[in-house]
Amino acid sequence: MVLTMAAVAEHKDIKPEKLEVHIARQTTQGAPWRTRFVAYIDLGKGLTHRERAILFNSARRCEVHQLLTGEMTFEFQLEDSETKA
């Protein structure tokens, strides 16, 4: 998220005092097991409402967020190195 916000800030000529993101993870057990991520974004002082909105929205649309949104599945395959020659 920080890299995405930094790239957008540079492209839009926005000069944030600070770009910090802290992530909190909350996991609940049950059916289904759920994990919730909360991103706390600190942009410092001195930005206009519009500049803050631009950077906040860029964080919400970053690639990492897109990867973690929605249902996820994991598949594991063990490679048999003995049969590879």
Domain-by-domain residue ranges, the chain?
2-68
Give the CB-side neighbour count of residue 34, counting CA atoms within 13 A.
8
pLDDT digits (tens, 9 = 90+) for 40-84: 999 999 999 999 999 999 999 888 777 777 777 889 998 887 766
User: Could you give the CA distance from residue 65 to residue 58 in angstroms, rounded to a whole number?
Assistant: 10
Predicted local distance difference test score (pLDDT) of residue 84 = 65
> 3 or 82: whose pLDDT is higher?
3
* Ramachandran angles phi, psi of 6, nearest 5°: -65, -40
Predicted TM-score (pTM) above 0.85: no
User: Could you give the CA distance from residue 2 to residue 59 in angstroms, rounded to a whole number?
Assistant: 7
